Amino acid sequence: MQAVLGVEWEAFQAALSASPPVSLRANAAKWPGPAQHDGRTPWCPQGYYLAERPVFTLDPLLHAGAYYVQEASSMFVAEALRQTLDLSRPLLALDLAAAPGGKSTLIAGMLSADSFFIANEVIRSRYNILRHNLARWGLPNVAISNHDPGDFAPLAGRFDLVLTDAPCSGEGLFRKDPDAIREWSPQQVNFCAARQRRILADAVRLLAPGGVLIYSTCTYNFEENEENAEWLQAEAGLEYVPLTVPREWGIAESRFGCRFYPHRVRGEGFYLVCFRKPGAKATPDKPKRLPALRLKPTAAKTADIAATWLKRPTEMRLLEDAAGRLSAIPVTAEEAFFTASAALYRIEPILELGEVKQGELIPAPALALSTALSDSIPSVDLDKTQALRYLRKEDPQVPEVPRGWVLARYQNLPLGWMKGLGNRVNNYFPKEWRILMREGGKVKG
């Protein structure tokens, strides 16, 4: 780094011992942004710096999907999308390495409503975290999948955007995450670079002609960054797309892509580069015959019951699995979803609706958080203490709850389901999402 940075070396070193800036990205579909902040991120209109770090876990707005806590450099993906794609068009987009979902929630928020976005994560435990974060984000034109990048091969040539935010040696996280320092070694760098190249080779195949590849890491070494970028141009035949960045943003432009150093930007170490696949976009072949799919369109009677919970039911296709669990995808995304489902066996719409039992929908947690939920569902507004009790899966202690299914809300944003039973209320917040932290930051259990 000393050789690369020259006279900037000391400033870089000093930044590594400073505390990292705190930032979050607001969910434009749910929340206008924090009333008090310490400036905006220059490259992402929804990004805000905070003067200090609150205990985010104890803020019900986080659990309502009002914002995502994301370090600021990573939000540059917003500027990369803006400069490389026509975001007013319907696009088919894929995040190949998506968990926990920082960049996926950003992408989902920038695509048009008639676009379709697949967020993929290969590691099962991380897939569940991804599902939680995207369910909270609440946008319905999203599916999540749990596959190795190589499994996407039958979908070659289809995607307008593929983000590959590859697992890396994490040099840019040294001041935030001591584990990143412990795990680093020159062998680890070489191992990561080779793995990234395998993932990138899969990513390149998936691009439609004219499609955009965004490759990013949170590390500084050239093996994992520019050398992989060079390979994308020289061996994989992609066109390098340089981005235009105002000098005052402090981003260092290298021979391929953009570098983020903590002494120059208010953010962590980060690298991002964009490429385009040459050629004009052709309409990909429709699959001749779809194999038996795990999710099937729901029978009319069940669909009618579930449809009453949706804002615009005619714009949604309702689906059902063999166990009777219902989910929904916008009609505009239906064809792309079925095509993807024919190739991938672990893909599901982010919008789970629940199950119909004895003529009644038992609503799923994701439905409460979705922007597709009907506005006419009964709700109860909780104050912060009640909301935290609700999120801990305790009795929220609300004096009056109407009978039946009711939304628990905080500052007008749904958190989840309760059921009023006359003299008491059942809390349907999912156990696996509940807050374990107590006031003062202590974690129970």
Residue numbers 146-165 binding ligand SAM by CB under 6 A: 149, 165
Residue type, 84: T
Q: Which of 103, 317, 389, 409 binds ligand SAM (CB under 6 A)?
A: 103
Task: Judge whether 44 counts as a catalytic residue.
Answer: no
Distance (Å, whole) CA 444 – CA 184: 32
Q: Residue 398: count other Cβ atoms within 10 Å of its Cβ.
A: 18
Distance (Å, whole) CA 38 – CA 48: 7
Here the tokens at position 162 are: 């593929």
Per-residue mark of binding to ligand SAM, 217-256 (x: CB under 6 A): ----------------------------------------
Span from 1-9, 34-42, 116-124, 260-268 in contact with ligand SAM (CB under 6 A): 116-124
Distance (Å, whole) CA 370 – CA 14: 43
Name the residue nearer to ligand SAM (CB basis): 120 or 341. 120
Which entry of 44, 168, 218, 274 is annotated as an active-site residue?
218
What DSSP string describes 94-109? EESS-TT-HHHHHHHH
* Total of chain residues touching ligand SAM, rule CB under 6 A: 18
Alpha carbon of residue 337 to chain centroid: 18
Here the tokens at position 89 are: 């068009």
Measured CA to CA in angstroms, residue 298 lies from 310, 327, 331, 363, 396 at distances of: 15, 9, 13, 16, 35
Residue numbers 192-221 binding ligand SAM by CB under 6 A: 195, 199
Q: Which of 101, 211, 365, 396 binds ligand SAM (CB under 6 A)?
A: 101
Write down the least CB distance from residue 78 to ligand SAM, Å: 12
Per-residue mark of binding to ligand SAM, 49-88 (x: CB under 6 A): -------------------------x--------------
Cβ proximity of 327 and 336 under 8 Å: no
Name the residue nearer to ligand SAM (CB basis): 124 or 438. 124
Span from 11-19, 91-99, 176-184, 396-404 in contact with ligand SAM (CB under 6 A): 91-99
Q: Which of 71, 121, 151, 320 binds ligand SAM (CB under 6 A)?
A: 121
- What three-state secondary structure class fits 384? helix
Ranges of beta strands (E only) in 301-350 are 316-320, 325-330, 347-349
Name the residue nearer to ligand SAM (CB basis): 168 or 368. 168
Quick check: 267 binds ligand SAM (CB under 6 A)? no
- Give me the helices (H) in 111-208, please: 124-137, 178-183, 186-206
Q: Residues interacting with ligand SAM, by CB under 6 A?
A: 74, 96-103, 121-123, 126, 149, 165, 167, 195, 199
Query: So which residues are the catalytic ones?
Result: 218
